[in-house]
Amino acid sequence: MDKLRITGQRVLQGVVQASGAKNAALPLMAAALLTAERVHLHNAPQLMDVRTLAKLLRSLGVRVEQEGGDIHLDAAAVNHFEASYDLVKTMRASILVLGPLLARFGQARVSLPGGCAIGARPVDQHIKGLQALGAQIEVEHGYIVARVSTPSGRLRGARITTDMVTVTGTENLMMAAALAEGETLIDNAAREPEIIDLANLLRGMGAQISGDGSSQIRIQGVQSLQGVEHRIIPDRIEVGTFLCAALATRGDITVQGAEPTHQDALLDKLREAGAHIDTGADWIRLRADALPGGRPRAVSVRTTEYPGFATDMQAQFMAVNCLADGAARMTETIFENRFMHVQELVRLGAQIDIDGHTCVVRGVPQLSGANVMATDLRASAGLVVAGLAAEGQTQIDRIYHLDRGYDAMEVKLRELGADIERIKTSPGG
Ligand code: EPZ
pLDDT in tens, 208-239: 999 999 999 999 999 999 999 999 999 999 99
> With a 6 A CB cut-off, is 332 part of the ligand 1 pocket?
no
> With a 6 A CB cut-off, is 125 part of the ligand 1 pocket?
yes
Tell me how far apart the alpha carbons of residues 4 and 9 are, in angstroms, rounded to a whole number. 16
**Pocket-testing residue among 334, 336, 376, ligand 1, by greatest number of atoms within 8 A of Cβ:** 334
Name the residue at shortest CA distance from atom 8 of ligand 1. Answer: 312
- Residues 61-112: tens digit of each pLDDT: 999 999 999 999 999 999 999 999 998 988 999 999 999 999 999 999 999 9
Name the residue at shortest CA distance from atom 35 of ligand 1. Answer: 312
> With a 6 A CB cut-off, is 250 part of the ligand 1 pocket?
no
> With a 6 A CB cut-off, is 376 part of the ligand 1 pocket?
no
> With a 6 A CB cut-off, is 166 part of the ligand 1 pocket?
yes
195 Cα–ligand 1 center, Å: 13
312 Cα–ligand 1 center, Å: 10
SS3 assignment for the chain: CCEEEEECCCCCEEEEECCECHHHHHHHHHHHHHCCCEEEEECCCCCHHHHHHHHHHHHCCCEEEEECCEEEEECCCCCCCEECHHHHCCCHHHHHHHHHHHHHHCEEEEECCCCECCECCCCHHHHHHHHHCCEEEEEECCEEEEEECCCCCCCECCEEECCCCCHHHHHHHHHHHHCCECEEEEECCCCCHHHHHHHHHHHHCCCEEECECECEEEEECCCCCCCEEEECCECHHHHHHHHHHHHHCCCEEEEECCCHHHCHHHHHHHHHCCCEEEECCCEEEEECCCCHHHCCECCCEEECCCCCECHHHHHHHHHHHCCCECEEEEECCCCCCCCHHHHHHHHCCCEEEEECCEEEEECCCCCECCEEECCCHHHHHHHHHHHHHCECEEEEECCHHHHHHCCCHHHHHHHCCCEEEEECCCCCC
Tell me how far apart the alpha carbons of residues 245 and 255 are, in angstroms, rounded to a whole number. 12
> With a 6 A CB cut-off, is 123 part of the ligand 1 pocket?
yes
Cβ distance 352 to 346 under 8 Å?
Answer: yes
407 Cα–ligand 1 center, Å: 21
Cβ distance 413 to 7 under 8 Å?
Answer: no
Catalytic residue set: 116
Closest by Cα among 292, 317, 309 to 381:
317
194 Cα–ligand 1 center, Å: 13
> With a 6 A CB cut-off, is 124 part of the ligand 1 pocket?
yes
Average pLDDT over residues 202-211: 98
> Going by C-beta distance under 8 Å and a sequence separation of 6 or more, which residues neighbour residue 197?
21, 24, 28, 232, 233
Average pLDDT over residues 285-303: 96
> With a 6 A CB cut-off, is 81 part of the ligand 1 pocket?
no
Q: pTM (2 decimals)?
A: 0.98
8 Cα–ligand 1 center, Å: 32
210 Cα–ligand 1 center, Å: 23
- Cα distances (Å, whole numbers) of residue 7 to 200, 234, 321, 397: 43, 29, 20, 15
- pLDDT at residue 117 greater than cutoff 70: yes
pLDDT over 70 percentage in the chain:
99
Tell me how far apart the alpha carbons of residues 42 and 197 are, in angstroms, rounded to a whole number. 13
> With a 6 A CB cut-off, is 167 part of the ligand 1 pocket?
yes
- pLDDT at residue 246 greater than cutoff 60: yes
- pLDDT at residue 4 greater than cutoff 90: yes
The pLDDT score that the predictor gives to residue 168 is: 98
Name the residue at shortest CA distance from atom 5 of ligand 1. Answer: 312
Name the residue at shortest CA distance from atom 30 of ligand 1. Answer: 122
> With a 6 A CB cut-off, is 334 part of the ligand 1 pocket?
yes
Name the residue at shortest CA distance from atom 14 of ligand 1. Answer: 23
Name the residue at shortest CA distance from atom 1 of ligand 1. Answer: 167
- pLDDT at residue 34 greater than cutoff 60: yes
> With a 6 A CB cut-off, is 258 part of the ligand 1 pocket?
no
Model confidence at 425, in pLDDT bands (50, 70, 90)? Answer: confident
The pLDDT score that the predictor gives to residue 105 is: 97
The pLDDT score that the predictor gives to residue 46 is: 97
- Residues 50-59: tens digit of each pLDDT: 999 999 999 9
**Pocket-testing residue among 52, 162, 164, ligand 1, by greatest number of atoms within 8 A of Cβ:** 164
317 — phi, psi (to 5°)? Answer: -75, -30
**What's the chain's average pLDDT?**
96
The pLDDT score that the predictor gives to residue 428 is: 57
Model confidence at 325, in pLDDT bands (50, 70, 90)? Answer: very high
168 Cα–ligand 1 center, Å: 7
- Residues 142-195: tens digit of each pLDDT: 999 999 988 999 999 999 999 999 999 999 999 999 999 999 999 999 999 999
Closest by Cα among 396, 342, 402, 409 to 378:
402
Name the residue at shortest CA distance from atom 20 of ligand 1. Answer: 121
> With a 6 A CB cut-off, is 307 part of the ligand 1 pocket?
no
**Pocket-testing residue among 47, 166, 239, 309, ligand 1, by greatest number of atoms within 8 A of Cβ:** 166
- pLDDT at residue 427 greater than cutoff 90: no
311 Cα–ligand 1 center, Å: 10
